[in-house]
Amino acid sequence: MNNFEYLRPTTIPEAVAAASVPGAAYLAAGTNLVDLMKGGVVRPSRLVDVGRLPGLTDIEHLPDGGLRIGALIRNAELAHDEGFARRFPSVAEALLSGASGQLRNAATVGGNLLQRTRCAYFYDTASACNKRDPGAGCDAVGGETRTHAVLGWSPSCIATHPSDFCVPLVAMDAVVEVEGSNGRRDVTLEDFHRLPGTSPEQESVLEPGELIVAVRLPPSAAEFASHARYLKVRDRTSYAFAVVSAAAALRMEGGRIAEARIALGGVALKPWRARAAEAVLVGALPDPALFRGAAGVALVDAKPSGDNEFKIELARRIVTRALILAAAGTPSRMPALPASPFAAPDGASQHG
């Protein structure tokens, strides 16, 4: 890799100042960034290591009932935090379905949100990629596209955002706290990642130098705890990115659905919140046919970006099943294979 400057600031303002220059990148655990650097995919001239910044490693239960997760909390630590997993079980399940034990022990909350796409053409520096090299073109189009996007893509970029964690988070109205040279601001996770449009190189709404300091879950998120699931279909049983995934959560009142939350992963360049589908469910009794209808609404705008039409029907089926699972109730214990169709929670039948 190229020679680069390595800085380890001790305060957030210092970090922000150091990272505001062109060519600078924040380094958290490096499980994504260092891989990309080794492959020559990104070549930052300055690394600003945020690993030892103070105040970013707490899980705080806020007075209003919300929760604030420091940006440097490790994925595994968060998933195994009992208080957290009990109140936000689908988020814990999503975290535990991602990557491998070793990676989860290292990967941070902030890094997970900002991990780059797994599009093979993005990783392959010999291919044209608008994300890597704005205006260069997109070699994924017309290439090997089985796992590319079916929602929100543009001819400029058909990649997906690979995070599992972000999917239930966006369903739960999570908010990202960022700090830049002009101080702190809040961005909803739903607005945090950008769709490609004509400028796929702009992946998030962060301004140069802005640092993720925390992710907040509002008090309402915990109201879904007893009916919240994450489901992830993948090409092997573990240690694989989602082909398609879905988070579903229901707030039940007297046997009826008072409120529903649905989000999809692996389908678009951002975690995909399906608000119109949620609306279909409000006030209804849980019912597989209804869920199937909602899943249809979630995918109405879907279209294949290549040889991936199957993902649309797969996504409908996953949303339907995730809703069935959520309606059946959160399992009392984390399944041995979190988010897997092979999880078999509490021995209950989940298949038609």
Partner 1 sequence: MVEMTSIQGQTHTRQGSSIGQPLTRMDGVLKVTGAARYAADHHPAGMLYAVMAVSSIARGRVASLDVAAAMAHPGVVQVMTPGNAPKLAEDPDAKTNPFMFRMDLLQNDGVRYPNQPIAVVIADTLESATEGAALLAPAYVTEPARVGLDGNASFAPPAVGVGNPAEMHRGDVDAGLKGAALRMDATYETPAQYHNPMEPHAIVATWDGDTLSIDTPSQGLAMAQGRLAGLFGIAPEGIHIRSPFLGGGFGCKGLLSGPQVLGVMAARLVDRPVKLVLRREQMYGPVGHRAPTRQTVRLGAASDGALTAVSHHAKTASSTFDDFFEPAADTAHTVYASPAIATSHEAVRLDTGTPLFMRAPGEATGSIAMESAIDEMAHACGMDPLAFRLKNYSDVEPISGKPFSSKALRECYAQGAARFGWATRPLAPRQMRDEAGLLVGWGMGTATFPALMFQGHARAVLRSDGTGVMETGAHDMGQGAWTALAQIAADGLGLEQDQVEFRAGSSDLPDAGIAGGSAHTATAGMAIHGAGADVIAKLADLAMDDQRSPLFGAGNTGVIARSGRLHRRDDEGRSESYGDILARAGLTEIEGRGASASDPAAQSAYAMHAHGAVFAEVKVDPEFGQIRVTRLVGAFAAGKIINPRMVQSQYYGGMIWGVSFALHEEALTDRRSGRIMNQNLAEYHVPVNADIPSVEAILVEEHDPHVNALGIKGVGEIGITGTAGAIANAVWHATGIRVREFPITLDRLMG
Catalog residues that contact partner 1 under the rule CB under 8 A. Answer: 1-3, 40, 100, 118, 120-121, 123-127, 139, 142-144, 146, 233-240, 243, 310, 313-314, 317-318, 321, 337, 341-342, 344, 347-352
**Structure token pair of residue 248:** 């579903």
| Binding of ligand FAD by 338 (CB under 6 A) | no
Binding mask 117-146 for ligand SF4 (x = CB under 6 A): x-x-xx------xxx------xxx------
Q: Report residue 317: phi and psi, to 5°.
A: -70, -35
Q: Which of ligand SF4, ligand FAD, partner 1, none is residue 122 near (CB under 5 to 8 Å by kind)?
A: ligand SF4
| Binding of ligand SF4 by 159 (CB under 6 A) | yes
| Binding of ligand FAD by 168 (CB under 6 A) | no
Cβ-contact 89, 81 below 8 angstroms: no
How many residues bind to ligand SF4 according to rule CB under 6 A?
14
Cβ-contact 77, 210 below 8 angstroms: no
Alpha-carbon distance 91 to 339, whole Å?
A: 10
Nearer to ligand SF4, 152 or 200 (CB): 200
The strand order across the sheet containing 272-273 reads 228-233, 244-253, 256-265, 272-273
Nearer to partner 1, 213 or 244 (CB): 244
Query: What phi-psi label fits residue 262: left (phi over 0), alpha (psi between -120 and 50 degrees) or beta?
Result: beta
Nearer to ligand FAD, 196 or 209 (CB): 209
Q: Which of ligand FAD, ligand SF4, partner 1, none is residue 138 near (CB under 5 to 8 Å by kind)?
A: ligand SF4
Minimum Å distance from CB 81 to partner 1? Answer: 23
Nearer to ligand SF4, 35 or 186 (CB): 35
Alpha-carbon distance 321 to 317, whole Å?
A: 6
Nearer to partner 1, 84 or 308 (CB): 308
| Binding of ligand FAD by 33 (CB under 6 A) | yes
Q: Is 33 helix (H, G, I), strand (E, B) or coil?
A: helix
Q: Which of 180, 200, 265, 266 touches ligand SF4 (CB under 6 A)?
A: 200
Nearer to ligand FAD, 271 or 286 (CB): 271
Q: How many CA atoms lie less than 13 Å away from 180 in the CB half-sphere?
A: 14
Q: Long-range contacts for 81-88 (Cβ within 8 Å, ≥24 apart)?
A: 83/59, 84/59, 85/334, 86/225, 87/221, 87/222, 87/225, 88/168, 88/172, 88/217, 88/221, 88/222, 88/225, 88/228
**Structure token pair of residue 305:** 């970006």
Cβ-contact 210, 179 below 8 angstroms: yes
| Site residues, ligand FAD (CB under 6 A) | 25-33, 35, 50, 71, 98-99, 103, 106-108, 110-112, 114-115, 162-165, 211-212, 241
Q: List interacting residues with ligand SF4 (CB under 6 A).
A: 117, 119, 121-122, 129-131, 138-140, 157-159, 200
